[in-house]
Structure 1
Amino acid sequence: MALLTLGLNHRTAPVELRERVAFTPERMAAAFAEIRATTGASEVAILSTCNRTELYLAGDDECAPTVLRWLSGFHGLDAAELEEAMYVHRDADAVRHMMRVAAGLDSMVLGEPQIFGQLKDAYDLAHEHGASGRFLSRLFQQTFAVAKRVRTQTAIGENPVSVAYAAVSMARHIFADMSRHKALLIGAGQTMELVARHLAEAGVTDFLVANRTLERAQALAEARGGRGIVLSEIPDYLREVDIIISSTASPLPILGKGAVERSLKQRKHRPFFMVDIAVPRDIEPEVGTLDDVYLYTVDDLRQVIEENIRSREGAAREAEHLVSAGTEEFLGQLRALEAVSTLKQFRERAETLRDGEVEKALRALRNGGDPETVLRSLGRGLTNKLLHEPSVQLRKATAEGRVEVTQWLRELHQLETQDHEISTTSERL
């Protein structure tokens, strides 16, 4: 069985394309059903974040073009446009890529920890929809183990350089005294919990959290001494806030140009600082054209992030070694499993031949045959049956010049190499 990873990320595609390829929670069930039915993949997992969309598949090694056609059709995109931004990894490269992703080595923010949780969610979702089997399950478990080694054995996660941290760092460039400004967080997931923590560390004490469900908004807001509201209430409170950071899974924009324009009229040129971390975007791009609005997307955070990455480069090199070791470990496990399967078939075949010869001997004994003669015949018959097919294949391989088969046979059965005989034969040839 072949492993295939097909995807795009912040390096290969702009946010405008990434948001069109993102999978919303509402369409995940249909995606799992369609991809397995139309591409021939036996196992599938889907990772969809603001910075990447990746499909992990176990099945036919040649199914990449089929998967690409399905992906473009599912999202209503031109296949040629999508193909330019896509990358494909197979087998060992696919294993290594997944481990690098889990360890944060392929992230916009080197070593960022959120991707580990997102990858675990992707695995859980695939399992929930019955789309993952033994192959992907084994791969994900090994990947998680390697990512944990990277976290515990290197310093790659010591300094905060996440997207959430970068967003707050940009806000500090706009506002000299963060304690004097109120923040609106749109969304209440893990990323927004990080944003809230970094804002609080920067001095912000006044929080408003908007979410689709009020309970989650209140839970996050109250942890920081703020207030929770539902998404529909955002226009009512917009004029009160200065910092707006958004990250939801909404397929459509939550904050539009009209609502921001109306709030600006009431704010008397007090600026808005906005960071839209979501993909698809939560804030209409046209909002950025308004005066007194500083709107940034995840792609705009790149410069801030790159400035903070240098401190993690040494740890990243150590992490790469751990990933390489983890990849070889997993591939070794697969080879061992293949050996177990082969040995099982070999034993079953030998037992079938044995049972046939034993049954023949028992019939001879029941018919009054001499026991010694029957036993000798049993031994010869069993030896001939066991060695016939290997002998035929060995002669065929030798004739084709595949001398390694002979060497393997000698190693398997611990046969001594007859150097004199071989050298004499070579001289004759």
Structure 2
Amino acid sequence: MKDFKAIRLSYKNTPLEVRGKLSLSQDDCEQLLKTYQKDQRLNELLFVSTCNRTEAYYMADEDISDSLIKDICSIKNIKGAEANKYFESVCDPKDVQNHLFRVAMGLESQVVGDIQISSQVKRAYQWTADHEMAGPYLHRLMHTIFNANKRVQIETEFRDGAASVSYAAVEMLDELTSDINDPKILVVGLGEIGTDAVRNLQNTDISDVTIMNRTFKVAEELASETGYKTRPFEELWKAAKEADVIISSLPIADYFNKENISSLDILAFKCFMDLSVPRSVAEDVEDIPGVIVYTVDDINARADKALEKRINAIPQVEAIIECSLSEFNKRTQEMEFSPIIKGLKNTLEEIRGKEVQKYEDQLSSKEKKQVEKITKNLLNKIMKVPVLQLKATASVNKKEGQKMGKIITDLFDIDVEK
């Protein structure tokens, strides 16, 4: 079996600016998959790319990391020297397997237990499958990951609550607007936390979302990605008057204050979620009737409780990964040697059948049945010895197992291609 390898970079070793340049869109991933469809060096390939990581997993005899990095740089119009400083090539299959599991579970995310990453990995796998770049190995591995993910969801508290400020804000917003028919949300300020809040809104049933930024192009790009509306920053107060909830991450202290909020003629309810430090929603805004203000401290308290739960659940998640990987590798190993085992059984069965046939004319019907039973039982006992030895050897040392398989294949003239 070919070896499982990877290239990877993430927020742990790569600045945000570089990650942004090397982030792969769906079109980028699909173009790269098409490029490698006819590449004889590999036959299985998966790209996982988010705002925090860009990774490629592949099955190949040789290390083709340089080629993959070169093609990623080409599609992103980046010089290879800039990317080579950050991409790590990993050729230990167990390390690669474990890392992909940890990524898919959210153990490697900036926000521990990030629920978005599992969906992103599923989408990446779907693109791979659509372009016929997922073979038997990736299919089995990905479905093992998805099953492990279900166990994590059911058996642990690893996914409970919102562990990031932006996600906690959206979770709180979803609760606050549950009794409002088609609530109108305005997000002002699209720095990292504001952008995360907009993306997290996609996980809710809320559809009436308007996003604003002082640099209109930034708002337009995010609106194109999410399908939400955008308006020029000059229309802020008109949009604020229409909104039920305003999420602000503006880097301007007290931008929203009692004077300008009072001019909105609030009749019933308006909620401000201030994700800025220092506050962009002044303290005196809370004195206005009908206005509710949640500061970053309020939201952080909610996120901290969830994060504590998730951190406490990490040993359980790692145990599920270990168990899942053990089962996967056991099945993979058995499937690798199954053609040899099947071939050996067919060869021995052919010998048994010919020998029994020699004496058929000398046996009664009852004796024939007894001979069939005895010889088949004997064949199964003989088979058991090399099969158990083959599996035991391979479990300790894969290469020694492959050598033993080759000896059995040559000794019994087994054609494993059948």
TM category, shorter: 0.5 to 0.7
What residue is the counterpart of 1:346 in the other structure?
344
Q: What amino acid does structure 1 have at the position aligned with 2:79?
A: D
Q: Which moved more, 1:32-41 or 1:110-119?
A: 32-41
Task: Report the RMSD for the aligned CA atoms in angstroms.
Answer: 5.2
SS in 1 for 2:7: strand
Pairwise mapping of residues 9-408 of structure 1 onto structure 2 (< 5 A)? Answer: 9-37=10-38, 40-89=41-90, 90-162=92-164, 164-165=166-167, 182-183=186-187, 191-194=200-203, 208=210, 229=229, 231=230, 233-234=231-232, 237-240=235-238, 309-347=307-345
Q: What amino acid does structure 2 have at the position aligned with 1:86?
A: F
Distance 1:146 1:88, change over 3 A: farther
8 Å contact kept, 1:146–1:326: yes
8 Å contact kept, 2:166–2:196: no
8 Å contact kept, 1:188–1:217: no
8 Å contact kept, 1:102–1:116: yes
Indicate the percent of aligned positions where both proteins have the same amino acid.
23
**1:131: Cα distance to partner?**
1.8
Deviations 1:377-402 (A, max 9, x none): xxxxxxxxxxxxx9xxxxxxxxxxxx
Q: Distance in 2 between matches of 1:309 and 1:187?
A: 17
Q: Which of the pair has more CA radius of gyration?
A: 1
8 Å contact kept, 2:104–2:118: yes
8 Å contact kept, 2:7–2:56: yes
Q: Which moved more, 1:342-351 or 1:121-130?
A: 342-351
**1:14: Cα distance to partner?**
1.6
Distance 1:162 1:345, change over 3 A: farther
Instruction: Confirm or deny that 1:4 pairs with 2:8.
Output: no
**1:29: Cα distance to partner?**
2.6
Q: Distance in 1 between matches of 2:224 and 2:51?
A: 24
SS in 2 for 1:85: coil
Q: What amino acid does structure 2 have at the position aligned with 1:110?
A: V
Distance 1:310 1:214, change over 3 A: closer
Distance 1:166 1:106, change over 3 A: same
Deviations 1:38-68 (A, max 9, x none): 5822111211212112212122242223322
Q: Distance in 2 between matches of 1:163 and 1:6?
A: 30
Q: Distance in 2 between matches of 1:181 and 1:191?
A: 13
**1:159: Cα distance to partner?**
2.6
Q: Distance in 2 between matches of 1:77 and 1:217?
A: 26
**1:316: Cα distance to partner?**
0.7
Q: Distance in 1 between matches of 2:107 and 2:147?
A: 15
Q: Distance in 2 between matches of 1:182 and 1:188?
A: 11
**1:70: Cα distance to partner?**
2.5
8 Å contact kept, 1:101–1:115: yes
SS in 1 for 2:202: helix
Q: Distance in 2 between matches of 1:216 and 1:67?
A: 26
Task: Give unmatched runs, 5+ long, in structure 2.
Answer: 174-182, 189-193, 212-218, 241-245, 262-271, 282-298, 359-385, 387-399, 409-418
8 Å contact kept, 1:187–1:217: no
Give the aligned length: 302
Distance 1:215 1:80, change over 3 A: closer
8 Å contact kept, 1:105–1:111: yes
Distance 1:55 1:180, change over 3 A: closer
TM-score normalised over the length of structure 1:
0.56
Q: Distance in 2 between matches of 1:181 and 1:125?
A: 32
8 Å contact kept, 2:162–2:307: no
Q: What amino acid does structure 1 have at the position aligned with 2:315?
A: R
Q: Distance in 2 between matches of 1:44 and 1:347?
A: 34
**1:83: Cα distance to partner?**
2.7
Q: Distance in 2 between matches of 1:35 and 1:61?
A: 15
8 Å contact kept, 2:3–2:60: yes
Q: Distance in 2 between matches of 1:154 and 1:5?
A: 29
Deviations 1:252-296 (A, max 9, x none): xxxxxxxx99xx9xxx999x99989xxxxxxxxxxxxxxx89xxx
Q: What amino acid does structure 1 have at the position aligned with 2:326?
A: E
**1:32: Cα distance to partner?**
0.9
Distance 1:24 1:8, change over 3 A: same
SS in 1 for 2:54: strand
SS in 1 for 2:111: coil
SS in 2 for 1:42: strand
Q: Distance in 1 between matches of 2:302 and 2:77?
A: 34
Task: Give unmatched runs, 5+ long, in structure 1.
Answer: 172-178, 201-205, 219-227, 247-259, 277-291, 294-300, 362-389, 391-403, 413-429
What residue is the counterpart of 1:426 in the other structure?
none
TM-score normalised over the length of structure 2:
0.57
